[in-house]
Amino acid sequence: METADAPVGRRLRGTLGATLVEYAVILALFAVPAVGASAYLTTKARAATTTNADCISTRPPPVACQAPTITTSTTATTIATTTTTQPGSTSTTTPLPTGSVTWDTTFTSWDVNSTNVAKTRFTIKTGSNVPVAGVVVQVRYTDSASGRQSVVSCTTDAAGLCTPPTYQVPYTAPAAPPAGTVVTISIVNIDSSGASPAVSSVSPPNSYTLTKNP
């Protein structure tokens, strides 16, 4: 044991020796586990390399080299669908009726008392005899005396009645169209887009012929 009277150099040498011993012990504490871990990893790596070499060189590969089988399960889910029919939700399509034109043979005439005027009217009704209003009809008058044609139009009323303007046969007074002059009345166009009740179509009649009597 060094005393306080020991030379300074001797005391320093003693302290230095103790420090070296401590460092050696600490180094040994780290070195021994490190050497062991290195040896363990080296062994494992060598074994893995050997196993991989065997798996590559051996055909078929050993069981240990084969990938594990993965088992999957599929669960089927059934979704039930329900169709609900609400009362009154069923729609039915009813075909539209067709209209037809009927000449008013009593009114349609050659009116010699009104300076030789031809006049006509007609009705449009459905097959069930329902009047069809709102139908626009174009009528053409043609007379044999002058060969002149006149196109006029009318619209059916609530009773299905359509009265187009009259047609006056041209003549030079005091002479009048000769007897036997014929006025032909034809329906050339029917627009039923505004008809009430709605109809799919309107069938025009044959032309109506008026002959002037003496």
Residues 57, 153 within the same domain: no
Do 60 and 116 reside in the same domain of the chain? no
Task: Indicate the residue among 48, 65, 82 that finishes a domain.
Answer: 65
Q: Does residue 36 form part of some domain? A: yes
Query: Is 83 a domain residue?
Result: no
- As a whole number of Å, the end-to-end CA separation of the chain is 175
User: Where among 65, 89, 108 does a domain terminate?
Assistant: 65
CA angle 83, 87, 88 (to 5 degrees): 120
Asked whether residue 14 falls in the same domain as residue 102, the answer is no
- Only one residue has tokens 């009047």, namely 131
Q: Are residues 111 and 205 in the same domain?
A: yes
Give the model's pLDDT for residue 18.
60
8 Å CB contact between 122 and 103? yes
The enclosing H or E element of 40 equals helix 8-57
Classify residue 125: in a domain, yes or no. yes
207 with 144: CB under 8 angstroms?
Answer: no
Pair 117, 199 in one domain = yes
Domain final position from 50, 65, 80 = 65
pLDDT (0 to 100) of residue 123: 95
Tally of domains within the chain: 2
Residues 102 and 36 in one domain: no
Same domain membership, residue 201 and residue 128: yes
Q: What is the CATH number of the domain that holds 172?
A: 2.60.40
Are both 51 and 156 inside the same structural domain?
A: no
* Residue 138 burial (CB count, 10 A): 15
Give a yes or no: residue 3 inside a domain. no
Residue 28 counted as domain residue? yes
Q: Specify whether 44 is located in the same domain as 122.
A: no
Q: What angle do CA 72, 75, 79 make, to 5 degrees?
A: 160
CA angle 33, 46, 38 (to 5 degrees): 15
pLDDT by residue (tens digit) across 4-50?
A: 555 555 555 555 556 777 777 787 777 778 887 888 888 877 877 77
Confirm whether 22 is domain-assigned.
yes
- The whole-number pLDDT of residue 114 equals 63
Residue 145 lies in a domain: yes
Per the structure block, which two tokens stand in for 15?
A: 């302290």
Q: Which residues constitute the domain of residue 163? A: 98-211
Low-confidence stretches of the chain (pLDDT beneath 70): 1-18, 59-92, 112-115, 172-175, 214
- Asked if 106 and 17 sit in the same domain, the reply is no
**Is 88 inside any structural domain?**
no
Kindly state whether residues 38 and 102 are assigned to the same domain: no
Residues 106 and 194 in one domain: yes
